[in-house]
Copies of this chain bind each other. A is one copy, B any other.
């Protein structure tokens, strides 16, 4: 298992065995510990002292189901705090199989505007990682959908996977993701949140290609235990209504949530001014499924974003002429460009998603920021064409595009918008804190800024997974959010997709299966308590970094307007006070 350090100042590198203290860490726990250990908390996110760390999870690269996740960590240009953003992609699977536990990108070129590509392969004799560099300047300033095929063509005949950045990162936006390929070699899988693409861009690194020819695969200490675990987990995923084949996610994709959240009055609409969108049904997962069926003349179930996924939740939207428009229209993107902007047309929404992918923009941050721009009167609510034009301006680096590309918090500040739905500068995802209190607590207190994936209490609050809680009640939600945040930190460490949570929270053997897999790989004997403690420790490390970076408990707040402005249809405010919010970390 390797630590591969790359210094972009002079494109030198250093290859070492994994140091002892990091051996029992991976994914998010490793990226966050490395950032906390090596990046000065007050370093400029785009300066030479920030680092960008890639780490696959414990089981990433194995046959464990739904586990091809890559964690990307750094100090965020968006929040100013620590950031882990993860994606499901073949690239993750390969990095795991190449036994590269951490790829650490350091330094930056003295000459701004240099862009390099790196190919990491394996030496046939020694099995050690090898590095090849290429000048990537010719690939800058272009749409990733044009660039990715060019890159694959350049390395034709080699089975490479591509991680890259788009124009948004070349512009150093707070809203610029790291782009990974999907199973069709499209630039559509993102470590989207927090502007880590711009950290990569600030280091003059345009691409990291993996050529896993000769990769030995993940070392597994106890193969029997691992196999037992993956079977248990697979059985749970295949059984649960949400994750099973032709189940909720496989049929309708994550956008299955549109109608559910709308029904609950928690679908943020018109820049978080109400909780129901009258045209929700037109953009719901059901409408995507039916629309595809109508256009193609046959039913299409969804596909996997990465090798070995059972859940297979990635949809594809097609044009009227049956050509592929974009994959994937996730719930978050669908909502961000749909209900949030009062746009009810799936073709427009798909085009916005595709533009974001092509420019390297995070769809959530883009949609939420557009909502703020609409609130400011920069463009009208409901105007899809204006939204498309605006995303082009973002991609092209025009001044108004730069404002929006800076992310929700900053754009709200520049445009003088009081109703700016952001925490720690990061735009809020598709769940209304006023209508779903637990997720509001996660948004407020997560080390990541407003992030639904940091502690997805939607499961018991809306989906009746694990429990069936009243989303409007604040009762017990502090402990709930804390437990979910810690558990999530472990799932993000294991290398599994967060969506396994639906199955493992309801099916105990599935939960044990996840633990068995990890113990199998590591040769450990961790219990459920141990992994919760590991997750909790990740949160402590992240929190400590943030505090040293000046992001303390006063930043763990829901925006003022949500405390004072009642949200229809339930006419509720976010009534959880500061002292209560502080208990999430105060009792960690």
Interface residues of A (CB under 8 A from B): 40-44, 46-47, 49, 77, 171-174, 198, 202, 398-400, 402-403, 405-406, 410, 413-416, 418, 547-552, 554-555, 557, 559-561, 578
> Least Cβ distance of A415 to chain B in Å?
7
A119 vs B63: C-alpha distance when bound (angstroms): 77
Closest B residue to A172 using CB positions = B416
> Least Cβ distance of A171 to chain B in Å?
7
Chain B residues with CB under 8 Å of A414's CB are 402-403, 405-406, 410, 414
The 3 closest A-B pairs by CB, nearest first: A172-B416, A550-B554, A399-B399
A142 vs B275: C-alpha distance when bound (angstroms): 40
Is B46 a contact partner of A77 (Cβ separation < 8 A)? no
> 25 A-B pairs, CB-CB below 8 angstroms?
A40-B560, A41-B554, A42-B554, A42-B557, A42-B560, A42-B578, A44-B559, A44-B560, A46-B416, A47-B418, A77-B413, A77-B416, A171-B416, A172-B415, A174-B413, A399-B399, A402-B414, A403-B403, A410-B414, A547-B554, A548-B554, A549-B554, A550-B551, A550-B554, A552-B554
A314 vs B78: C-alpha distance when bound (angstroms): 42
Is B410 a contact partner of A47 (Cβ separation < 8 A)? no
A413 touching B418 in the complex, CB below 8 Å, given contacts A398-B399, A554-B549: no
How often does this chain occur in the complex, in copies? 2
Chain B residues with CB under 8 Å of A549's CB are 554
A560 touching B399 in the complex, CB below 8 Å, given contacts A41-B554, A44-B418, A416-B198: no
Chain B residues with CB under 8 Å of A561's CB are 44, 47
Chain B residues with CB under 8 Å of A578's CB are 42
Q: Which of A77, A173, A198, A554 has the most CB of B within 10 A?
A: A554
> Least Cβ distance of A162 to chain B in Å?
24
Chain B residues with CB under 8 Å of A173's CB are 416
> Least Cβ distance of A206 to chain B in Å?
16
Instruction: Add 19 more A-B contacts to A406-B413, A548-B554 (CB < 8 A).
Output: A42-B557, A42-B578, A43-B560, A44-B418, A44-B559, A46-B416, A46-B418, A172-B416, A173-B416, A174-B413, A198-B416, A202-B416, A406-B410, A410-B413, A414-B414, A549-B554, A550-B554, A550-B555, A552-B554
Contact of A403 among B49, B202, B402, B552 (CB under 8 A): B402
> Least Cβ distance of A390 to chain B in Å?
11
> Least Cβ distance of A328 to chain B in Å?
29
Chain B residues with CB under 8 Å of A49's CB are 560
Chain B residues with CB under 8 Å of A550's CB are 550-552, 554-555
> Least Cβ distance of A288 to chain B in Å?
34
Closest B residue to A41 using CB positions = B554
Closest B residue to A173 using CB positions = B416
A561 vs B561: C-alpha distance when bound (angstroms): 36
A202 vs B415: C-alpha distance when bound (angstroms): 12
> Least Cβ distance of A322 to chain B in Å?
39
Closest B residue to A549 using CB positions = B554
A549 vs B412: C-alpha distance when bound (angstroms): 18
Chain B residues with CB under 8 Å of A202's CB are 416, 418
Chain B residues with CB under 8 Å of A77's CB are 413, 416
A406 vs B399: C-alpha distance when bound (angstroms): 13
Chain B residues with CB under 8 Å of A554's CB are 41-42, 547-550, 552
Is B413 a contact partner of A403 (Cβ separation < 8 A)? no
Chain B residues with CB under 8 Å of A560's CB are 40, 42-44, 47, 49
> Least Cβ distance of A367 to chain B in Å?
19
A77 vs B409: C-alpha distance when bound (angstroms): 13
